C-alpha cells in the first residue's frame, strides 16, 4: 500500500469576530499518499484556503486553530505540524511543507531581486551554506520551472504574471518538501499560461517526488491534473473520491451539482448553476449544512448532521442518502421510483 505522507485529523479553525464565532474549517479528516495530486474544490468561502493556511501554521488573529493534528513524514520521521514550536515550524516550512500562494502578483517583495528573495528563503534552513552554494541551488530551481537564469537578477515588476507564478513555484521547491500546497495557482492568468503553470507543477512534483494539494474552483482542470478530488462545503469535507469515481458517479448532492454545472458539448449554450447561496458561517443551518439547496433533502437532513459513509473502495461521503458502507440507503429519493416522462 502507498505510504501516507500527511494525515490530517479533526482539523478545526475558527475566526472570532464582533458578530460572533465562525467555523471556517470544521472537523476535517484527510490522508495524502506519497506522490499523489489531490484536488480540493468548493465555492469561495468554503474553507479551502483556511485549511491550507492552517497546515502552514499561518492563521492570523482573529483566526485560531482550535483542534486536530496534521502529521507529516514517514514512519522514521513523523511530526505533528500543529504541535511544533514557532522555531520548529519555521524550519518545517519549505523543507517539509511548502505553500504556493494564490496571488503571485502580491506574493513577491517588489523592492528585492528574485535571487535575494530565494536566498533569504534558504538561509533560515541552511545557515552554514555559502552564498555560492545557495545561488547554485536557486539557479537549479529556476531552471526546473523553465525560466532563464537572468530572471534571478530581475525585480518582480519586470516579470509577467506567468513568470511570477513560476518564480513562486521555484521558491516552493527549493528544499524539496514532502508536501506542496498550491492555492489556486492559475488565478488571474489566461488559459494558455494556466496550462503552462499546471504542467510546471506536475513536472517539478514528479522530479522531487512530492505530494501536491491543488486548491481551485475549476473542476475541468482537476479532472486533468489530479488523482483524487475532495469537495468542501461550509467548512466541511463532504466527499472524497478518485477523479474517475467523482466524474462518473458523484455521491454527494453538492458534488453532483458541481459536476452538472460544467459546460458540455451536448448542451451548448445551456448553463446550469446551483440554486441558492452558500450559507453564512456565522449562521449555519441545522442538520446537514447543504440541505437548503439540496434537491434530495429529507426531513432528517434538516435536524441531524450526516455521519461518514465509507465505500469498500475507500471513497467517503457525508450524506443521509447513504448507509455507513456507502450503499444507497432505503426509502430515500435515490431509491424511490422516479416518474417516467413519455
Closest CA to 234 of 277, 181, 298, 273: 277
Q: Pick left, alpha or beta for residue 319 (phi over 0 → left; psi -120 to 50 → alpha; otherwise beta).
A: beta
- The total number of structural domains in the chain stands at 1
Cite the DSSP H helix spans in 219-311.
Answer: 219-225, 243-248, 253-260
CATH of the domain at 88: 3.40.50.300
Residues 276-307: tens digit of each pLDDT: 888 989 899 999 999 999 999 999 999 999 99
**Residue 150 within any structural domain of the chain:** yes
Whether 181 is covered by a domain: the verdict is: yes
Residue 96 domain boundaries: 4-217
Q: 221-278, pLDDT tens digit by residue?
A: 888 899 999 999 999 999 999 999 999 999 999 999 988 887 776 766 667 778 888 8
Rounded CA separation 118/115 (Å): 5
What's this model's pTM, rounded to 2 decimal places? 0.91
Query: Mind listing the pLDDT tens digit for each residue in 61-80?
Result: 999 999 999 999 987 889 99
DSSP-assigned beta bridge partners for residue 38: 213, 228
The answer to whether position 227 is within a domain reads no
Cell of 65: 486553530
Residue in the block written with cell 482542470: 221
The pLDDT of residue 113 is 96
Q: Is residue 329 part of a domain?
A: no
Domain assignment present for 309? no
Could you tell me the end-to-end alpha-carbon distance of the chain, in angstroms, rounded to an integer?
49
- Asked if 239 and 231 count as a contact pair (C-beta separation under 8 A), the reply is yes
Q: What is the pLDDT of residues 139-194, one digit of tens each?
A: 999 999 999 999 999 999 999 988 999 999 999 999 999 999 999 888 777 888 88
Residue 28, beta-bridge partner list: 11
Q: How far is C-alpha 290 from the geometric centre of its chain's CA atoms?
A: 20
For residue 18, tell me if it sits in a domain: yes
Q: Is residue 243 part of a domain?
A: no
Q: Does residue 179 sit within a domain?
A: yes
The arithmetic mean of pLDDT across residues 199-228, rounded, is 90
Task: Kindly report whether the peptide bond that precedes residue 62 is cis, defined as omega within 30 degrees of 0.
Answer: yes
pLDDT of residue 268: 67
Amino acid at each position: 500500500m502507498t505510504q501516507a505522507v500527511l494525515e490530517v485529523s479533526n482539523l478545526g479553525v475558527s475566526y472570532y469576530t464582533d458578530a460572533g464565532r465562525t467555523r471556517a474549517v470544521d472537523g476535517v479528516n484527510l490522508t495524502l499518499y506519497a506522490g499523489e495530486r489531490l484536488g480540493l474544490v468548493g465555492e469561495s468561502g468554503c474553507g479551502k484556503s483556511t485549511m491550507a493556511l492552517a497546515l502552514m501554521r499561518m492563521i492570523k488573529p482573529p483566526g485560531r486553530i482550535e483542534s486536530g493534528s496534521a502529521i507529516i513524514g514517514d514512519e522514521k520521521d513523523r511530526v505533528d505540524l500543529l504541535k511544533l514550536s514557532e522555531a520548529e515550524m519555521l524550519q518545517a516550512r519549505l523543507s517539509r511543507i511548502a505553500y504556493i500562494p494564490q496571488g503571485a502578483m502580491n506574493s513577491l517583495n517588489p523592492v528585492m531581486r528574485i535571487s535575494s528573495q530565494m536566498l533569504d528563503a534558504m538561509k533560515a534552513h541552511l545557515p552554514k551554506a555559502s552564498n555560492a552554494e545557495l545561488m547554485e541551488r536557486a539557479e537549479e530551481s529556476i531552471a526546473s520551472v523553465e525560466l532563464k537564469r537572468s530572471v534571478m537578477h530581475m525585480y518582480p515588476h519586470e516579470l509577467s504574471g506567468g513568470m511570477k507564478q513560476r518564480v513562486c513555484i521555484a521558491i516552493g521547491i527549493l528544499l524539496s518538501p514532502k508536501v506542496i500546497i498550491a492555492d489556486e495557482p492559475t488565478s488571474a492568468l489566461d488559459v494558455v499560461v494556466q496550462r503552462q503553470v499546471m504542467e510546471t507543477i506536475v513536472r517539478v512534483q514528479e522530479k522531487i517526488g512530492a505530494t501536491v494539494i491543488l486548491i481551485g474552483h475549476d473542476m475541468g482542470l482537476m479532472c486533468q491534473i489530479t488523482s483524487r478530488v475532495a469537495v468542501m462545503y461550509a467548512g466541511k469535507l463532504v466527499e472524497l473520491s478518485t477523479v474517475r469515481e467523482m466524474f462518473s458517479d458523484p455521491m454527494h448532492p453538492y458534488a453532483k451539482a458541481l459536476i452538472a454545472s460544467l459546460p458540455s458539448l451536448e448542451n451548448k449554450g445551456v448553463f446550469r448553476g446551483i440554486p441558492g447561496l452558500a450559507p453564512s458561517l456565522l449562521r449555519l443551518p441545522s442538520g446537514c449544512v447543504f440541505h437548503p439547496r439540496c434537491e434530495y433533502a429529507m426531513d432528517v437532513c434538516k435536524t441531524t448532521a450526516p455521519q461518514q459513509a465509507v465505500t469498500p473502495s475507500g471513497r467517503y461521503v457525508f450524506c443521509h442518502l447513504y448507509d455507513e458502507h456507502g450503499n444507497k440507503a432505503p426509502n430515500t429519493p435515490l431509491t424511490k421510483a422516479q416518474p417516467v416522462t413519455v
